[in-house]
């Protein structure tokens, strides 16, 4: 079997690829369940279908999808420009620290402005953290994959130190946690289970979708990613694009961090995200590097989290299954994506004759 380059990229394959990948992931999951001695059909049902059958779990799905969609949409834009921000998890953490600073420092300040400022600080924190990698790339040509990834661990340790040290709740029985946030330090809920962050994520993804398809900035990003030389010919600066992408994707990750601590988590603690920043990489690819596609892909990845919890409680499968499924899914998406630009050519049956 050999891969042969197509003359044009296949639009059909670009759409079909995530579905083929999803199908293969389901098959793989079934095999994993079977190997553990679980009825594969039942396993798949508990993992992928059951969470969609009750209102409360659908609401939970939307809430879990919120950070994934926000970050995934930003990463989709960055990846379009060939800017490989792998450190969204760190930018999320930086955003949470910046946002959490307000209730920690001013616990008694309660006004709608409090929440607004927390969200803004969150975005600024993520932008600042992301801009480090952009600066290092522009100034020293340092590989942004490495710097952004390594900075994740730096900021996670910073958060760890903060909540164990200066920001620890004095009345918290020495647990490594900040004070719990209240009232206007928390996002309002629209329904019993859905908070305002869900709407923010949806709007952001749609706005980015518009930016990418209708504006000059979107064109600049697309061209920079496809052909840096042509981008220069078009008058676009590569360095500016790198900085813009890190500010955008970092800012959205930071916003997601602010939303998480002001909704689901409600305080600062060493762990504020079960790896949303990394799972969002899968969201970006699964969503065809399109911000709007990231909405659907974010929902699917959210399902993988919730399904993982479900099989853990119902079938005693370790929750690490979530990471396995997510990893397998990304693997298949990338594999199937190669078929967008290549087709499989049959091995030539001709015999091999040497003169």
Q: Which residues are at the interface with other proteins (CB under 8 A)? A: 6-9, 214-219, 222-223, 226-227, 229-230, 232-235, 348, 350-355
- Indicate the residue among 28 and 238 with the shorter CB distance to other proteins: 238
Least distance (Å) between residue 268 CB and other proteins: 37
Least distance (Å) between residue 179 CB and other proteins: 43
- Beta carbons within 8 Å of 186's beta carbon, 6+ residues apart: 115, 262, 263, 266
| Cβ–Cβ under 8 Å, residues 280 and 72 | yes
Chain-centroid distance of CA 249 in Å reads 10
Least distance (Å) between residue 72 CB and other proteins: 22
- Indicate the residue among 240 and 320 with the shorter CB distance to other proteins: 240
| Cβ–Cβ under 8 Å, residues 130 and 247 | yes
- Indicate the residue among 90 and 218 with the shorter CB distance to other proteins: 218
The neighbour count for residue 121, using CB atoms within 10 Å, is: 21
111 — alpha (psi -120 to 50), left (phi > 0) or beta? Answer: beta
Least distance (Å) between residue 18 CB and other proteins: 19
Per-residue buried b or exposed e for 251-272, using 16+ beta carbons within 10 Å of the residue's own CB:
bbbbbbbbbbbbbbbbbbbeeb
CA–CA separation, 59 and 56 (whole Å): 5
Least distance (Å) between residue 350 CB and other proteins: 6
Chain-centroid distance of CA 148 in Å reads 14
Residue among 189, 194, 349, 177 nearest 271 (CA):
177
Least distance (Å) between residue 145 CB and other proteins: 22
Least distance (Å) between residue 106 CB and other proteins: 37
- Indicate the residue among 12 and 353 with the shorter CB distance to other proteins: 353
In the chain, what is the greatest distance between 2 CA atoms, to the nearest angstrom?
Answer: 89
- Indicate the residue among 139 and 352 with the shorter CB distance to other proteins: 352
Least distance (Å) between residue 196 CB and other proteins: 28
Angle between helices 276-286 and 55-80 (to 10 degrees): 70
- Indicate the residue among 230 and 335 with the shorter CB distance to other proteins: 230
SS3 category, 3: strand
- Indicate the residue among 108 and 348 with the shorter CB distance to other proteins: 348
- Indicate the residue among 175 and 233 with the shorter CB distance to other proteins: 233
Per-residue tokens: 9: 């990229």
What DSSP letter does each residue of 319-348 carry, written as one string? TTHHHHHHHHHHHHHHHHHHHHHEEEEPPP
CA–CA separation, 313 and 288 (whole Å): 33
Least distance (Å) between residue 218 CB and other proteins: 8
- Indicate the residue among 108 and 351 with the shorter CB distance to other proteins: 351
């Amino acid at each position: 079997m050999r891969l042969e380059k197509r003359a044009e990229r296949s639009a059909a394959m670009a759409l079909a690829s995530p579905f083929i990948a999803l199908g293969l992931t389901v098959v793989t999951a079934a095999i994993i369940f079977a190997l553990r001695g679980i009825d594969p059909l039942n396993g798949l049902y508990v993992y992928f279908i059951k969470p969609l059958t009750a209102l409360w779990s659908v609401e939970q799905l939307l809430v879990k999808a919120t950070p994934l969609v926000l970050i995934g949409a930003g990463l989709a834009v960055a990846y379009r420009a060939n800017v490989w921000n792998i450190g969204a998890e760190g930018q999320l953490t930086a955003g949470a620290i910046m946002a959490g600073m307000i209730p920690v420092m001013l616990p008694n300040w309660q006004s709608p402005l409090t929440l607004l400022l927390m969200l803004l600080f969150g975005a600024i924190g993520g932008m600042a953290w992301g801009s480090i990698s952009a600066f290092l790339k522009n100034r020293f040509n340092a590989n942004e994959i490495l710097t952004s990834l390594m900075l994740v661990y730096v900021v996670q340790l910073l958060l760890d130190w903060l909540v164990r040290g200066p920001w620890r709740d004095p009345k918290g029985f020495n647990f490594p946690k900040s004070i719990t946030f209240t009232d206007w330090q928390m996002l309002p809920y629209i329904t019993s289970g859905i908070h305002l962050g869900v709407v923010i994520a949806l709007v952001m993804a749609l706005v980015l979708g518009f930016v990418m398809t209708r504006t000059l900035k979107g064109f600049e990003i697309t061209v920079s990613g496809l052909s840096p030389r042509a981008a220069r010919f078009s008058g676009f600066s590569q360095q500016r694009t790198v900085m813009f992408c890190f500010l955008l994707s970092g800012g959205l990750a930071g916003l997601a961090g602010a939303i998480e601590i002001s909704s689901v988590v409600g305080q600062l603690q060493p762990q504020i995200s079960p790896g949303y920043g990394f799972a969002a990489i899968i969201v970006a690819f699964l969503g065809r590097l399109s911000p709007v596609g990231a909405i659907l892909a974010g929902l699917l990845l959210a399902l993988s989290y919730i399904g993982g919890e479900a099989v853990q409680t119902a079938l005693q499968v370790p929750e690490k299954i979530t990471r396995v499924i997510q990893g397998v899914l990304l693997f298949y998406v990338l594999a199937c994506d190669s078929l967008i630009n290549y087709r499989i050519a049959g091995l030539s049956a001709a015999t091999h004759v040497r003169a």
